Amino acid sequence: MPTLIHLSDLHFGRHHNSHLDEIILREIAALNPDAVIVSGDLTMRARRREFEQARDFLAQIQRPTLTIPGNHDQPILPVADLVERFTQRFARYATYIHNDIDSVLQTNDLFVIGLNDNRPILPGGFWSREQREWLGAQLAAAPREATRVVATHHQLIWQGWRPAGFWRAEHTLDFLARYGVELVLNGHTHVAQAEQSSHGIVIARAGTATSGRLRDGNGNAYNLIMIDEQHINVFVREYDEHADAFIAVRAFTFARRAHRRGVP
């Protein structure tokens, strides 16, 4: 039964809670997942020191790990950083976190693809034509028995403009369904949620794991996801100050759509 831990919006820098780093690392070691996925916003302002802190945290995870950048991982201040945002906006991410901005992780019946969906000006996320072609080729080559997972920063199910989500999400879900994707991982909103689309794709959104920038009464949280032959189970684990630990506060169970598996 593959398991993965889904972290998002760590936001190293101002408002970051380093005490939660220690707890999460202990829980990753205890839960021993097959993979750890970080769906963007590793930093608050894309400063080099923030990337160094994120790198040091990730280095302590002793499990296969896939990361993608978020909108906060693009330099913006001061003016010199703003210039870099339009010329080499993910150079710092590549230097400190991972050379490849879009990447693939294959482990224990999981085939996970992470795609950057951020743009320097427009709010929300989308993939370029070249990214979609690359994604389609990767998914077409995935082992037939593997559970196909895609991670991107902006949420594919969203309402309204704040915070803006993934553009043309329904079109994107149609595209992913054709390639047998069963699970999509997002962050961005700092509010944990899980839903199943009409395509049978489970869309799991993680809250902010370690930032003090909490929204709508939600605490710091991450997702523990367990996949068996029949179901995808998403457990939202939220920090409890009295227990000084993350505990399961919500659970979602979704039936896997058998006709979506093992294609094309």
Is residue 235 predicted with pLDDT exceeding 50?
A: yes
Assign 143 to helix, strand or coil.
coil
**Tens-digit pLDDT profile for residues 220-234:** 999 999 999 999 999
Instruction: Give the pTM.
Output: 0.94
Assigned superfamily of 3-257: Metallo-dependent phosphatases (3.60.21.10)
pLDDT single digits (tens) 103-125: 999 998 999 999 999 998 888 99
Is the separation of the CB atoms in 44 and 15 below 8 Å? yes
Q: 227 Cβ partners below 8 Å, 6+ apart? A: 1, 2, 3, 110, 147, 183, 233, 256
Count Cβ neighbours within 10 Å for each residue of 95-120 and write b for 16 or more, e otherwise.
Answer: ebbbeebbbbbbbeebbbbbbbbbee
Q: With 70 as the cut, is the pLDDT of residue 259 above it?
A: no
Mean pLDDT lowest among 90-94, 132-136, 159-163, 178-182: 159-163
